Structure 1
Amino acid sequence: MTTMDGFFTPSSVALVGATDKSGWSLSTFNNLRDPEHGYPGEVYLVNPRTEVVHDTQAYPSLTAIGKPVDLAYVMTPVSVVPQVLREGAALGTRHYVVLTAGYGEIGGEGAVHEQELADLAEELDLVVLGPNGNGFINAAMKINPYGLPIPKPLISGNVGVVLQSGGLASNVLAFAQARNIGVSLLTSMGNETVVSVTDVVSALVDDPNTKSIALFLEAIRNPEEFREVAARALAAGKPIVALKVGRSEKASRTAQAHTGALVGDDKTVDAVFKQLGIVRVESLEDLMVTAGLLAETGPLPGRRIGVVTPSGGASEIIADRAEMEGLDLPDFSPETTAALEVIVPPFATVANPLDVTGFVLLDRTLLGRAAEAAAKEPGIDLVVLLQDLPKATPSMEDTVAAYTANAQILANSPVPVVVMGNVLTDINEVGREITRASNYPMVLGGIEHGMAAIGHAVRWSETYRRAQERSGSGERAPVVPVRTQDATGVWAEHRAGSFLREHGVPIVPTELVSDAEAAAAAADQVGYPVVLKAAAEGLAHKSDIGGVHLGLVDAEAVSAAFNAMQASLAQHGHPDAEAIIQPMRSAGTELLVGVVRDPQWGPTLAVAMGGIWVEVMADSALRVLPVDRQEVREALEELRGVSLLRGARGMPATDLDALAAVIHQVGEIAVGLGEELESLEINPLLVHGDRIEALDALITWRADEDNGSAPGSDAEITDATERRRA
């Protein structure tokens, strides 16, 4: 990972390739020299063909400046960039922003130039942001080498923004300013040839001016680094909010098993983000509103909210959105109700959400006093207060006084108070002046985005607390390698089941037999009724060709079934097929437990309700391995069908901790098998009270020739994924 020490705080900047013909050059110069932005350092212009640029002295080269600069902002043609870097490195300049385009984004020769740039940076030990990027805005330190105009006012705050889109950077900044969301640092990444998103996020984790981090991601280039820096951010209590684009319906390449259909590319990203405590949002508005809220509040104590509004209609909208976000609206206690009845007008009804009515137009202190009383309710964790900032006021003095009084009440509240506007509109200069003068807190942009942000913030806070609890329980045990021989092809149920049993996974009793007499003896041993299934390599659709017999109740039935099975299989080219005998399970809940290797993130665990649940409802939860038992337990709790496991409709309740232990062991085996494993599936894992048994298993190994595609014919795949009925 590239160290960013000092990169975002240069005391001098050289604009190399500065010219009056370039809007980027003029914008960058103005951003550094604008008195409102207040950059205190030195700015040098470098152009070998003219002595004056932007009405300022220009130097023919970096060397001509006479001393090294802290940062070179490079706007020269592609062919000149290496020369600039070599000259600067010789002078002692290690930090560069390369605005120039024409690299890997155009392919062909551009990709060659980009590799040359990467090699040169490594050779000279240089830190390079870009190429094809606009630079950065360090609003907290008033340092803005950024190639596009910065809309005013530039509001400094605590949200760090990292974007893999130069075109969106200015829009994100404009929206943040329109909603009074202060930015600490905004970085436009460009091609990430040297400096990556994870490098910048790592710097923001260490930055005292940053309290939350907003990411716009098109791709995650280094998953391991990303996981590492996200874990650091969570441990530091710095929320990461991400808008990750590129959702795809394309399933994993290992979709030969049911698990593969559950573990698509974007579903795995969802799982990774959830595990790492990254808040995933769906719009640029939610990106900034959520990051702004988390920068303002930090971790929230819980999901029980009290709502105070001046509108009955707004109260109803908020109640609906709260339910959608999984937030609770508990009734006020008798004591709180009594306190509120003294405050609100007599025609108001005290309830949660509370509508204090339009009487706020006559009594400017009403909302604040109602919020103060609601905040003392012992059954809530935070108060949501609906109050917009005005766009005009007949008396700024009176308005500031009213908002100052409310701000003091909110600041002294025993629980956090989140202020929210009705709709997403810009905060104008009147609103900003009121905020500055009264020290009023951030106002979330509209009920829709505001409630979404509160829901995200509550869920992140719960993840953060769980992470804090886990951090005190010691480091995770190291991976224990699992050794096996002949890790090739597809291992169907008998071989896969035997392997899993040897490594601690409970498997239904299974006997391999080669004739009718042995089949009957095995059935006597395991107990009736039994299941007889053909066991032969490459056998497709066993049930279609007489290879599956269910509910056999005595030895005679077993012998007859075996003979019938052999005769049928012989007609289909399998005269020497063996069979397996297992007890017939007639009660329980089916689960699918599988692991597939995601191309980016590695082995990924899928837990799903089996049977029709997985085939029709796709009721599943994913975790990227490794995980601990508590994370598996949390995955089980996410399933919509978890009530079946808890004993719904007369079913015996399952010990979810014991079930999580079994699934966790499957994950440990998968991790221990290492890179050779492509996928591992148990389908179904049958759960009935205290009994937990795998009824069918499949293991697929990675092919040597491409180190990624799964071997095995369609026949092997279909055969191995047939479920044995419980």
Structure 2
Amino acid sequence: MSRLRAALDPKSVAIIGASDNPNKVGGRPVHFLGKFGFAGKIYPINPSRPEIQGHKSYASLQDLPEAPEMVIVAVAGDNAIAAVEDCAAFGVKIAVVMASGFGEVDAGEGKAKERRMVAAAHKAGMRIVGPNSQGLANFGTGAIASFSTMFMDMDRAAEDAKGHVAMLSQSGALSTVPVGFLRQKGIGVRHTHATGNDSDITVGELACAVAEDSEVKLMLLYLESIPDKRYLEELASIALDRDLPIIALKSGRTDAGKAAAQSHTGALANEDRVVDAFFEHHGIWRAPDMRGLVEATELYLKDWKPQGRRLVAISNSGAVCVLTADAATSVGMPMAKLAPQTDAKLKGILPSFATTTNPIDLTAALLSNSALFGDILPVIAEDPAADAFLIGVPVAGPGYDVEAFSRDAAAFGKQTGKPLVVAATQPSVAQAFAANGTSVFPTEVEAVTALHQFLAHRELMAKTRARRTALAPGEALIASPAAETTMLNEADSLGLLAARGIPVVPHRLCLSRNEAIAAFNIIGGPVVVKGCSADIAHKSELGLVRLGVNSADTTGDIFTEMEQIIAKNGSRFDGVIVASMAGGRREMMIGAHRDPVFGPVVVVGDGGKYVEIVKDTRLLLPPFTAQDVRDALQSLRIAPLFAGVRGEPPMDLDALVDAVVKVGALMRDPAARVASLDLNPVMLGSEGQGCVVVDAVVFHGV
């Protein structure tokens, strides 16, 4: 936090455009600084008032007795620009610019004005938050440099200002809307910051500083654009070191992926999928919507250290048991298989018509014997198969000892130390469980969804941390993007891959009819004959691919024919490739390109001519491990085929994994200068038979 300390914990704050009215933009920060116990100096600046909200007011920045560490610029338009320039000249460290009407509405003149402010600030060593910023709020220090209406009904003495959650956003509204949701759940926040247009200090850079606050146990991000990945990468590294979970909600789309449309890879790796891969690579959970951003928050604030995701469900409703099992299965949470001794003990406690296998249905017997709940929980707690628990109480009231249920559940949670959630629709029942510190959700689906997010995110963080440990420092090399690229012909593309140890189909480049005939005789038929030109990416459309050629003379004739086709097309003739007819069990694809923001991206998945229609692929951001590739392949829809079905032997996944790892290393090697590549098909054989690249298109940096 030291590099941006003045943004989060300033010793003095001035407000240019300060108002005596706390419902004005310039009045809110003055009000909030007092309300939330800011201990530093407050300097309202307004030439028309001697006093503002009980504080002495100053006519100008130059009239202050010292240069304040932070200045809130609450004046509009060109006045804001002049104010920023004055701040820079006066020795201010941080300017929070609330004025709007800049780059967010005018990409030309508006952005130019932003650049003017930033240039003036940097020349003097000052930093800017905004413009178009709702402001910053650190409830831990009382430094509330914001005009958010949300804070008007928050109480300094309440839990609102004592939380462990940090919310950072490029949007003003979305920096506080999640706070409202969390307050409804009784969860306080420590930080909520809105960086606006990110003209200087970006949400990522500010998040790096916030992540160093030891009181922050969960970070939430709302992002509308990611023009630069550097600070998000640094943030992820800090968070992993601190074991700090990050949940991000990324909205909108950018043009980042559109320039990659020159290949299949570009179509399969659009910008939003790359964002998914980036977050996954760095252990950041991507929320699908606002509910996903905040719904599981209280689970993250427990001290749980989960070891898996096998679920045990307990309910007094058979329907809830079934729905819980359905919900868990749909998100990949297996229902734990309880040990035989656990089942035997449960049978000795529950009536014969109850279900003792997981999920455990207590039935209506719970109404006549409220002790059942407390009797079975200690038994289940001892079972080693369970990683997490869900208790469903859809209906309870008179006749049920709900207070005892809630106490027993809380004791059970402490005994196991494992994640526990409760699904209870009735407010009175939910309140009883919540009062004892148990996490409660209205339905079993919501409970399972939140529990899955928490457990899967923790697994993702552990996997990311393990990858970081496993990868050697040398594997962090990365090439700079090339200003211009050129396509290699297929022979050169295959040669580049072969030099990297990536298996390619046996082939020969022939520059004459006689060489083509000789190649057939050496390779042996049948063969594939393909025209070779660095000007032609898609050869089939021009009749430049012939399969199953069975004679040397025919091979020679095809050479002559293809030479003529390439000449008529006005393309460069680089020869004709004669290659073996490669066999295999499945056509796969490996692709890669350089995203302008996120760098190298590797695509792997089902291949062949329908690759862009089927779209059964996964994205990986190098550097990655062999296990990362294996996990990606096992997540494909075709994954069950890899193990072999209906008596077939398994496929050689090890060979495919190795090829993908080598492509990842190739894309990070500065000396290779590979801008993009398409390897499709890559023929995958049975176990022990390997894989082989049959067709390759490589774009090379000039």
TM-score band (shorter)? 0.7 to 0.9
Alpha carbons of 1:674 and 1:26: their partners in 2 closer, same or farther (altered >3 Å)?
Answer: farther
Q: Partner residue of 1:24?
A: 25
Q: Partner residue of 1:380?
A: 386
1:506 is aligned to 2:503 = yes
Alpha carbons of 1:572 and 1:48: their partners in 2 closer, same or farther (altered >3 Å)?
Answer: closer
Q: Partner residue of 1:331?
A: 337
Matched-pair contact (CA < 8 Å) for 2:225–2:253: no
Q: CA deviation at 1:407?
A: 2.7
Matched-pair contact (CA < 8 Å) for 1:159–1:292: no
Query: Secondary structure of the residue that 2:4 maps to in structure 1?
Result: coil
Structure 2: how far apart are the matches of 1:271 and 1:143?
36
Q: Partner residue of 2:291?
A: 285
- Greater shift, 208-217 or 612-621, is seen at 612-621
Structure 2: how far apart are the matches of 1:70 and 1:572?
68
Matched-pair contact (CA < 8 Å) for 1:235–1:467: no
Q: CA deviation at 1:547?
A: 3.5
Structure 2: how far apart are the matches of 1:27 and 1:231?
35
Matched-pair contact (CA < 8 Å) for 2:20–2:53: yes
Q: Partner residue of 1:144?
A: 144
Query: Secondary structure of the residue that 1:157 maps to in structure 2?
Result: coil
Q: CA deviation at 1:561?
A: 4.5
Q: Partner residue of 1:710?
A: none
1:684 is aligned to 2:681 = yes
Alpha carbons of 1:518 and 1:351: their partners in 2 closer, same or farther (altered >3 Å)?
Answer: same
Matched-pair contact (CA < 8 Å) for 2:134–2:147: yes
Query: Secondary structure of the residue that 1:622 maps to in structure 2?
Result: strand
Q: Partner residue of 1:121?
A: 121
Q: Partner residue of 1:462?
A: 459
Q: Partner residue of 1:610?
A: 607
**Which digits, 9 at most, give the CA deviation of each residue in 1:441-484, with x for residues without a partner?**
4434644443222222222222222233334446332467999x
Query: Secondary structure of the residue that 2:95 maps to in structure 1?
Result: strand
Alignment equivalent of 1:597, drawn from 573, 583, 594: 594
Structure 1: how far apart are the matches of 2:564 and 2:103?
63
Matched-pair contact (CA < 8 Å) for 1:566–1:577: no
Amino acid at match of 1:115: R
Alpha carbons of 1:134 and 1:198: their partners in 2 closer, same or farther (altered >3 Å)?
Answer: same
Unaligned runs of 5+ residues in structure 2 are none
Q: Partner residue of 1:527?
A: 524
Alpha carbons of 1:384 and 1:137: their partners in 2 closer, same or farther (altered >3 Å)?
Answer: farther
Structure 1: how far apart are the matches of 2:414 and 2:584?
58
- Greater shift, 257-266 or 2-11, is seen at 2-11
Q: Partner residue of 2:199?
A: 193
Alpha carbons of 1:310 and 1:47: their partners in 2 closer, same or farther (altered >3 Å)?
Answer: farther
Alpha carbons of 1:232 and 1:57: their partners in 2 closer, same or farther (altered >3 Å)?
Answer: closer
Q: CA deviation at 1:197?
A: 1.1
TM-score (norm: length of structure 1): 0.84
Alpha carbons of 1:369 and 1:190: their partners in 2 closer, same or farther (altered >3 Å)?
Answer: farther
Alpha carbons of 1:346 and 1:589: their partners in 2 closer, same or farther (altered >3 Å)?
Answer: closer
Percentage identity across paired residues of the two chains: 28
Alignment of 1:258-657 (within 5 A): 258-297=264-303, 299-341=305-347, 344=350, 347-357=353-363, 367=373, 370-386=376-392, 403-404=406-407, 406-422=409-425, 438=435, 440-444=437-441, 446-473=443-470, 475-478=472-475, 489-538=486-535, 542-543=539-540, 546-559=543-556, 561-562=558-559, 578-611=575-608, 614-657=611-654
- Greater shift, 368-377 or 691-700, is seen at 368-377
Structure 2: how far apart are the matches of 1:575 and 1:26?
70
Alpha carbons of 1:450 and 1:216: their partners in 2 closer, same or farther (altered >3 Å)?
Answer: farther
Query: Secondary structure of the residue that 1:303 maps to in structure 2?
Result: coil
Structure 2: how far apart are the matches of 1:473 and 1:545?
47
Alpha carbons of 1:455 and 1:112: their partners in 2 closer, same or farther (altered >3 Å)?
Answer: same
Structure 2: how far apart are the matches of 1:575 and 1:417?
67
Matched-pair contact (CA < 8 Å) for 1:157–1:184: yes
Alpha carbons of 1:441 and 1:546: their partners in 2 closer, same or farther (altered >3 Å)?
Answer: closer
Amino acid at match of 1:628: T
Q: CA deviation at 1:246?
A: 1.2
Alpha carbons of 1:528 and 1:299: their partners in 2 closer, same or farther (altered >3 Å)?
Answer: farther
Matched-pair contact (CA < 8 Å) for 2:314–2:391: yes
Q: Partner residue of 2:98?
A: 99
Alpha carbons of 1:180 and 1:473: their partners in 2 closer, same or farther (altered >3 Å)?
Answer: same
Matched-pair contact (CA < 8 Å) for 1:482–1:669: no
Matched-pair contact (CA < 8 Å) for 1:489–1:700: yes
Query: Secondary structure of the residue that 1:112 maps to in structure 2?
Result: helix
Query: Secondary structure of the residue that 2:261 maps to in structure 1?
Result: coil
- Greater shift, 248-257 or 412-421, is seen at 248-257
Matched-pair contact (CA < 8 Å) for 1:11–1:41: yes
Alpha carbons of 1:80 and 1:554: their partners in 2 closer, same or farther (altered >3 Å)?
Answer: closer
Structure 2: how far apart are the matches of 1:651 and 1:434?
52
Q: Partner residue of 1:697?
A: 696
Matched-pair contact (CA < 8 Å) for 2:311–2:335: yes
Matched-pair contact (CA < 8 Å) for 1:137–1:143: yes
Matched-pair contact (CA < 8 Å) for 1:300–1:457: no
Structure 1: how far apart are the matches of 2:204 and 2:671?
26
Q: CA deviation at 1:170?
A: 3.0
Amino acid at match of 2:415: N
Unaligned runs of 5+ residues in structure 1 are 705-726
Amino acid at match of 2:33: L
Q: Partner residue of 1:719?
A: none
Alpha carbons of 1:54 and 1:482: their partners in 2 closer, same or farther (altered >3 Å)?
Answer: closer
**Which digits, 9 at most, give the CA deviation of each residue in 1:466-511, with x for residues without a partner?**
233334446332467999x9x9532121221122223322211111
Query: Secondary structure of the residue that 1:104 maps to in structure 2?
Result: coil
Matched-pair contact (CA < 8 Å) for 1:299–1:458: no
TM-score (norm: length of structure 2): 0.87
Amino acid at match of 2:416: S
Structure 2: how far apart are the matches of 1:492 and 1:272?
31
Structure 2: how far apart are the matches of 1:467 and 1:546?
46
Alpha carbons of 1:345 and 1:59: their partners in 2 closer, same or farther (altered >3 Å)?
Answer: farther
Structure 2: how far apart are the matches of 1:389 and 1:204?
43
- Greater shift, 224-233 or 170-179, is seen at 224-233
Q: Partner residue of 1:75?
A: 74
Structure 1: how far apart are the matches of 2:499 and 2:245?
42
Query: Secondary structure of the residue that 1:4 maps to in structure 2?
Result: helix
- Greater shift, 648-657 or 177-186, is seen at 648-657
